[in-house]
Amino acid sequence: MEFSTFLVQCLNAVQYGLLLFLVASGLTLIFGIMGVINLAHGSFYMLGAYLAYALAPLFGGQFLLQMAAGVVLSVVFGFLLEWVFFSYLYQRDHLQQVLMTYSLILVFEEMRSILAGNDVHGVKLPEWLSGAVALGDLMKYPVYNLFASATCIVVALGLYYVVNRTRLGMMIRAGASNRDMVRGLGINIRLLYRIVFAAGVALAALAGMIAAPVTSVYPGMGGQILIICFVVVVIGGIGSISGALIAALLVGLVDTFGKVLFAQFSGLSVYLLMALILIWRPQGLKSKGY
Amino acid sequence: MHTKFTALAAAGLLCSGIAHAQTAPIKVGLMLPATGTYANLGEMIENGFKLYVGEQGGKLAGREIRYFKVDDESDPAKATDNVNKLIKRDQVDVLVGTVHSGVALAMAKVARETNTLLIVPNAGADVITGAMCAKNVFRTSFTNWQPAYAMGVVAARNGHKKAMTITWNYAAGNESAKGFVEGFEKGGGKVTQNLTLAFPNVEFQALLTEIAAQKPDAVYAFFAGGGAVKFVKDYVAAGLNKTIPLYGAGFLTDGTIEAQGAAAQGLSTTLHYADNLNTPRDNAFRLNFAKTYKTNADVYAVQGYDAAQLLEAGLKAAGGDIKNRDQVIAGMASTQVDSPRGKFTLSAAHNPVQDIYLRQVKGNINELKGVAIKALADPAKGCKM
Amino acid sequence: MNIPLAAAGLHQPLPPSKTRLLPLVILLAACLLPMLLSEYALDLVVKIIIYAIFALSLELLVGTTGLISLGHAAFFGIAAYVTALLVPGSGPGAILLMLPAAMLGAGCYALFVGALSLRTQGVYFIMVTLAFAQMAFFIFHDTGIGGGSDGIYLSSRPAFSLAGIALVDLELPRHFFFFALGSLAAAYLLLAAIQRSRFGRALAGIRTNEQRMRAAGYRTYGYKLAAFVIAGMLAGLAGFLMAARTGVVNPELLSWHESGAVLLMIILGGLGSLRGAVLGAAAFILLKEFYSSEAIFAGFAQHWQLSLGLTMILFVAFLPHGLIGLSRQRIWNRKQSPAAQGGAHV
């Protein structure tokens, strides 16, 4: 492989990895703080993608506005979902959580089928994002992919800032370490959980919105990303956001180069990576702290 | 003793039933996707089939048709159970389906085991009229090989020497790629690499980078539906269409031109149908279809339409008696179907022997450019009939 | 927050002595079914039997040992594929060869997955088993081993022949029915024996409190791995039967939806009970038939997953002891707590 091709593939890998990070960070937050294993997390990603498809005609070409609206809608949805359903899961054991969130996936998939049909949909891009940038004389790289990566980086930095530099972040980190103590200190743990959950939903939905023009919107997209995110969280360590970032980039690299170098085994490569990490460190790369 | 009793009972029922059977409606089991990626195709096939029956006054060879439907969800895992619903539960006389090759394979297997008459109105898996061919299995669509082989011949004729193929890693994609390789290498070219990605993945960037790095003379792509839309757009966005011409099986641009927009213009594809054949038969069909269903017909509708024609041919040969299986099959196998795509006959393996057209995207349609290969028959490898 | 299953009160005590012969009675009654049911209905019963074996195998893991595996379908599917790949070019294959090979194949993968996943605990374990099942899924989906995403079909079903005469020919529906029924009985007896053995008691101890078992000197990793492999092999038995039944195998047999479904089955029936596993499999499949029946639900039948999903959510929420618990008159105590405290707690 020539060096220029290698660099472009790295670019592809990083873009995919950053997208995975957005979804995985939500998953690891929800588990780390609330102790809820949420199999329906992939459905939020799908929700974001379908939102992008559904909102497009309403917002014309106002892409940024459309994304903002989508984020707001998903936060509201997350709030409601936590209030109506997830808050009942905190006290239950993992098996019940697994079963109820798995059944929730079935419900979401069918709701999607009823509301949005089963066709594959493309999401059009606004003019200013539709171009391509020449990378030497090898090929042109879509501007949108660069935009997607940039957005993910901005969100990641925002997440870092919130978690490490704000009071809310402090409460989140405290709640992850010792839930009861936090409650004992008089902090409204219920509201905290609701905020964290809504944030997790929004992160996944945002990832879906960003990915939609690249991956298209199709049934089953939630399930695919969920399992890869599980791998990311296992490799990175549950509850660790920085671990999720490193793991996501690693998975992106392995997956992208796997697709090019061993086409037939590319699906396996990510799981082999996970198996190797498990042999070396069963608790993940960064299992404690943020 | 058990069997003697059953035989007597059966004889009695048969005698009373024969008089009834001649006027009873023929049960047609439609196993098509009503949900999922191919739902639209399933609908078009069904509409095409029903359009022909409607044109004959609701009856085929004087017999009324009663429909039974099962949604196969394009899921091969549920295929056997779904087929059994039609064959064992509803006890249909004829089975019509489906779109997805994996599901059709399971259907063909069960049809062979239960000796049920099966007409495949789309699934192109070569093996259905190849190694798995059977007297009671017919197809009115194509084999994945046919349009691909034709495209390979055309590409070689255009002077290209080095090519790459790219497709999804499933039966239809792999067979299509193989067909192209065969046609291309027959014309003196060489295919250097066959790129694949998992179905229905549409993240092509890594593979497009690979194509750009290798710089072949031409690229052959097999994708359908949403994947086809995305691929063509991505290919053009990467600027590859300026230096490396893109060829494809017709599905790359069938039903997808509007979504692909400017990116599809000028794309050459091969298929057994084109949007502007402009023959009296095709014009009448398209007009009738548009009037009845308020949408334009496509290749899938034609295939469904022809499935009904084929069934009628068989029924006419047997005087309307669907139970007279041998006559029905003889009638179907020897008929010439007056299809909107042009008249075609069936090969010995019961697959259409048909003209493959060369088309080019112009504006909103696949414009007919000529005939790539006339009366192309699938080699039906492994068929022992 | 992970309340161990036993403390959560989800476990059933041993069945009351009055009903101890019930499984035998049902078995004998089942023998009459081929004469009473239509071909389609008998086929459905066979499907239930196969999934009952599959559910029983998972019961050993989740119910007895407390290991929540979300990747159990991998062993089911691998055995099915081994069966399909071992079909000879001409003539029926030998059950005596294909069945053990299928179970062995499943067992080997179970050994590999178990060895690695059992190094993790709790939620990690759940995620890791899921991931390894996906790995197996992709092996069959992407590579040329199976027929890719379309799967492969079996050109003949296996048989057991002596001196050229087929004593058990799985092509015949009657033979298949009784073979499957016999397998179910064998699996049930095996698991009942395990539950009452020292090994089984050790597993129950591990489920209740692993720390204590380790303190008592048990090498829990070994016990868990053994249970994992046995469960995998039993799932392999179900996989063999599934391949022989449908005559076609397909990567979807290894999908996580299959794993999720079998987990739902044992909860539906009632965790910790062998009868529950069988009952759950039957109930799940019949519910699915019911919800997807166009005769009853017309257009909505295509959305059966919605009905099923909602049913399961309600079930897990309000009847965590499953159908068996219902029949044993166990009323699940609900601590009345204000809504702000969150949901009920067992």
Residue C206's pLDDT band, with cuts at 50, 70 and 90, is very high
- For C162, phi and psi rounded to 5 degrees? -125, 125
Touching subunits of B (3+ CB pairs, under 8 Å) are A, C
Residue C203's pLDDT band, with cuts at 50, 70 and 90, is very high
pLDDT tens string A69-91? 999 999 999 999 998 888 888 88
Average confidence (pLDDT) over B54-65 = 91
Q: For residue B135, what are its two tokens?
A: 């007297």
Average confidence (pLDDT) over A102-107 = 90
Average confidence (pLDDT) over A120-140 = 78
Note the pLDDT of residue C334: 37
Distance, in Å, from the CA atom of C134 to the CA atom of C236, rounded to the nearest integer, reads: 17
Distance, in Å, from the CA atom of A172 to the CA atom of C36, rounded to the nearest integer, reads: 63
| Cα diameter, chain B | 78
Residue C6's pLDDT band, with cuts at 50, 70 and 90, is very low
Go through C92-108 and write b for each residue having 16 or more CB atoms within 10 A of its CB, e for each that does not. Answer: bbebeebbebbbebbbb
Note the pLDDT of residue C237: 96
Assess if residue A207 is contained within a domain. yes
Q: For residue C272, what are its two tokens?
A: 């910790």
B39 touches chain A (CB under 8 A): yes
Distance, in Å, from the CA atom of A129 to the CA atom of A110, rounded to the nearest integer, reads: 33
Q: How far is B197 from chain C (nearest CA, A)?
A: 9
Given a cut of 90, is residue B40 above it in pLDDT?
no
To the nearest whole percent, how much of chain C has pLDDT over 70? 89
Taking a C-beta distance cutoff of 8 angstroms, is the pair B47, B304 a contact? Answer: yes
Q: For residue A6, what are its two tokens?
A: 């290698």
Note the pLDDT of residue A37: 86
8 Å CB contact of C142 and B198: yes
Taking a C-beta distance cutoff of 8 angstroms, is the pair C75, C232 a contact? Answer: yes
CATH of B145-271+358-376, one of 3.40.50.300, 3.40.50.2300, 1.10.3720.10, 3.40.50.720: 3.40.50.2300
Of the candidates C56, C49, C4, C6, the residue with the CA atom closest to the CA atom of residue C31: C49
Note the pLDDT of residue C9: 41
Average confidence (pLDDT) over B53-73 = 91
Residue C332's pLDDT band, with cuts at 50, 70 and 90, is very low
Distance, in Å, from the CA atom of B201 to the CA atom of B102, rounded to the nearest integer, reads: 17
Of the candidates A237, A234, A230, A242, the residue with the CA atom closest to the CA atom of residue A163: A242
Taking a C-beta distance cutoff of 8 angstroms, is the pair B203, B166 a contact? Answer: no
What integer best gives the mean pLDDT of chain A?
85
Assess if residue A212 is contained within a domain. yes
- Higher-confidence residue: A260 or B128? B128
Q: Are strands B162-168 and B218-222 parallel, antiparallel or unpaired?
A: parallel
Residue A21's pLDDT band, with cuts at 50, 70 and 90, is very high
Distance, in Å, from the CA atom of A274 to the CA atom of A259, rounded to the nearest integer, reads: 17
For B104, name the nearest residue in chain C, comparing CA atoms only.
C150
What integer best gives the mean pLDDT of chain B?
88
**Model confidence, pTM:** 0.83
Residue C48's pLDDT band, with cuts at 50, 70 and 90, is very high
Residue C4's pLDDT band, with cuts at 50, 70 and 90, is very low
| Cα diameter, chain A | 63
Break chain B into its structural domains and give their ranges. 2-142+278-350, 145-271+358-376
Q: For residue A58, what are its two tokens?
A: 């309403």
Per-residue DSSP letters for C97-122?
HHHHHHHHHHHHHHHHHHHHHTTS-H
Average confidence (pLDDT) over C124-153 = 85
B77 touches chain C (CB under 8 A): yes
Distance, in Å, from the CA atom of B334 to the CA atom of B346, rounded to the nearest integer, reads: 7
Assess if residue A223 is contained within a domain. no
SS3 for C159?
Answer: strand
B200 preceded by cis ω (within 30°)? yes
Taking a C-beta distance cutoff of 8 angstroms, is the pair B379, B145 a contact? Answer: yes
Distance, in Å, from the CA atom of B80 to the CA atom of C245, rounded to the nearest integer, reads: 10
Q: For residue C46, what are its two tokens?
A: 């066979």
pLDDT tens string C21-33? 888 888 888 888 8
Note the pLDDT of residue A163: 85
Given a cut of 60, is residue B190 above it in pLDDT?
yes
Given a cut of 60, is residue B97 above it in pLDDT?
yes
Closest to A230 (Cβ–Cβ): which among C127, C305, C310? C127
Go through B53-70 and write b for each residue having 16 or more CB atoms within 10 A of its CB, e for each that does not. Answer: beeeeeebbebebebbbb
Distance, in Å, from the CA atom of A259 to the CA atom of A262, rounded to the nearest integer, reads: 6
- Residue B146: partners with Cβ closer than 8 Å, 6 or more residues away: B124, B179, B272, B354, B356, B376, B378
- Enclosing domain of residue C34: 22-257
Go through B315-337 and write b for each residue having 16 or more CB atoms within 10 A of its CB, e for each that does not. Answer: bbbbebbbebbebbbebbbebeb
Assess if residue C305 is contained within a domain. no
Residue C1's pLDDT band, with cuts at 50, 70 and 90, is very low
Residue C2's pLDDT band, with cuts at 50, 70 and 90, is very low
Given a cut of 90, is residue A142 above it in pLDDT?
no
Residue B11's pLDDT band, with cuts at 50, 70 and 90, is low
Average confidence (pLDDT) over A169-187 = 78
Given a cut of 80, is residue C224 above it in pLDDT?
yes
Average confidence (pLDDT) over B92-97 = 94
Note the pLDDT of residue C248: 84
Q: How many domains does chain C have?
A: 1
Q: Are strands B94-96 and B26-32 parallel, antiparallel or unpaired?
A: parallel
Q: How many domains does chain A have?
A: 1
Note the Cα B244 to chain centre separation in Å.
Answer: 29
Of the candidates A222, A254, A211, the residue with the CA atom closest to the CA atom of residue A235: A254
Assess if residue C191 is contained within a domain. yes
For B194, name the nearest residue in chain A, comparing CA atoms only.
A263
- For C32, phi and psi rounded to 5 degrees? -85, -15
CATH of B2-142+278-350, one of 3.40.50.720, 3.40.50.670, 3.40.50.2300, 1.10.287.610: 3.40.50.2300
Q: How far is A68 from chain C (nearest CA, A)?
A: 30
Note the pLDDT of residue C198: 93
Assess if residue C152 is contained within a domain. yes
DSSP code for B158: T
Given a cut of 50, is residue C201 above it in pLDDT?
yes
Average confidence (pLDDT) over A109-132 = 80
Q: For residue B26, what are its two tokens?
A: 């023929």
Identify all chain C residues contacting B169, using CB atoms and an 8 Å cutoff: 142, 148-149
pLDDT tens string B256-306? 887 788 888 989 999 999 888 899 999 999 999 999 999 888 899 999 999
Alpha helices by DSSP H, listed for C197-219, are 198-208, 210-215
User: Packing angle between helix A241-261 and helix A143-165, nearest 10 degrees?
Assistant: 160
Assess if residue A258 is contained within a domain. no
Query: Torsion angle of alpha carbons C286, C289, C291, C293, nearest 10°?
Result: -140
Given a cut of 70, is residue C134 above it in pLDDT?
yes
- Higher-confidence residue: A67 or C150? A67
Given a cut of 50, is residue A290 above it in pLDDT?
no
Closest to B88 (Cβ–Cβ): which among C40, C246, C248? C40
- C-alpha to C-alpha distances, C3 to A27, B8, B9, C67, C207, nearest whole angstrom: 21, 66, 63, 13, 11
Distance, in Å, from the CA atom of B143 to the CA atom of B377, rounded to the nearest integer, reads: 9
Given a cut of 90, is residue B119 above it in pLDDT?
yes
Q: For residue A239, what are its two tokens?
A: 């509850």
Given a cut of 70, is residue C64 above it in pLDDT?
yes
**Which class for B278: exposed (0-12), middle (13-18), buried (19 or more C-beta within 10 A)?**
exposed
For A115, name the nearest residue in chain C, comparing CA atoms only.
C303
8 Å CB contact of B80 and C149: no
Identify all chain B residues contacting C246, using CB atoms and an 8 Å cutoff: 80-81, 106
Taking a C-beta distance cutoff of 8 angstroms, is the pair A213, A125 a contact? Answer: yes
Of the candidates B250, B278, B277, B276, the residue with the CA atom closest to the CA atom of residue B264: B250
Given a cut of 90, is residue B81 above it in pLDDT?
no
Run of H or E residues at B366: strand B365-376
Given a cut of 80, is residue C144 above it in pLDDT?
no
Assess if residue C304 is contained within a domain. no
Note the pLDDT of residue C328: 65
Given a cut of 90, is residue A237 above it in pLDDT?
no
Distance, in Å, from the CA atom of B366 to the CA atom of B300, rounded to the nearest integer, reads: 15
Weakest mean pLDDT among A246-250, B291-295, C151-155, C338-342: C338-342
Distance, in Å, from the CA atom of B32 to the CA atom of B69, rounded to the nearest integer, reads: 8
Residues 76-95 on B with a CB inside 8 Å of A are: none
To the nearest whole percent, how much of chain B has pLDDT over 70? 94
To the nearest whole percent, how much of chain B has pLDDT over 90? 54
Assess if residue A70 is contained within a domain. yes
8 Å CB contact of A264 and C303: no
pLDDT tens string A191-226? 888 998 999 999 999 999 998 888 878 887 888 889
Distance, in Å, from the CA atom of B51 to the CA atom of B60, rounded to the nearest integer, reads: 12
Can you tell me the ipTM of this complex?
A: 0.84
Q: For residue C260, what are its two tokens?
A: 């999720």
Note the pLDDT of residue C7: 39
B269 preceded by cis ω (within 30°)? no
Q: For residue A101, what are its two tokens?
A: 């969130």
**Which class for C300: exposed (0-12), middle (13-18), buried (19 or more C-beta within 10 A)?**
middle
Given a cut of 90, is residue B47 above it in pLDDT?
yes
Taking a C-beta distance cutoff of 8 angstroms, is the pair B125, B144 a contact? Answer: yes
Average confidence (pLDDT) over A118-132 = 78
Go through B198-211 and write b for each residue having 16 or more CB atoms within 10 A of its CB, e for each that does not. Answer: bbbbbbbbbbbbbb
Assess if residue C35 is contained within a domain. yes
Run of H or E residues at B197: strand B190-197
pLDDT tens string B209-220? 889 888 999 999
Q: For residue B174, what are its two tokens?
A: 């792999």
Distance, in Å, from the CA atom of B250 to the CA atom of C93, rounded to the nearest integer, reads: 42
Given a cut of 80, is residue C339 above it in pLDDT?
no
Taking a C-beta distance cutoff of 8 angstroms, is the pair A85, C343 a contact? Answer: no
Distance, in Å, from the CA atom of A64 to the CA atom of A25, rounded to the nearest integer, reads: 22
Q: Which amino acid, C290?
A: F
Identify all chain C residues contacting A100, using CB atoms and an 8 Å cutoff: 312-313, 316-317
Weakest mean pLDDT among B24-28, B222-226, C185-189, C235-239: B222-226
Given a cut of 70, is residue C100 above it in pLDDT?
yes
**Which class for A134: exposed (0-12), middle (13-18), buried (19 or more C-beta within 10 A)?**
exposed
Closest to A122 (Cβ–Cβ): which among B37, B196, B226? B226
8 Å CB contact of B39 and A117: yes
Note the pLDDT of residue C22: 83
Tokens 């990490």, located at residue = A277
Given a cut of 60, is residue C13 above it in pLDDT?
no
- For B279, phi and psi rounded to 5 degrees? -100, 155
Note the pLDDT of residue C343: 35
Of the candidates A39, A25, A7, A286, the residue with the CA atom closest to the CA atom of residue A157: A25
- Enclosing domain of residue A86: 9-218
Touching subunits of C (3+ CB pairs, under 8 Å) are A, B
- Higher-confidence residue: A139 or C339? A139
SS3 for C8?
Answer: coil
pLDDT tens string B120-143? 999 999 989 988 899 999 999 999
Residues 173-232 on A with a CB inside 8 Å of C are: 179, 190, 223, 227, 230-231
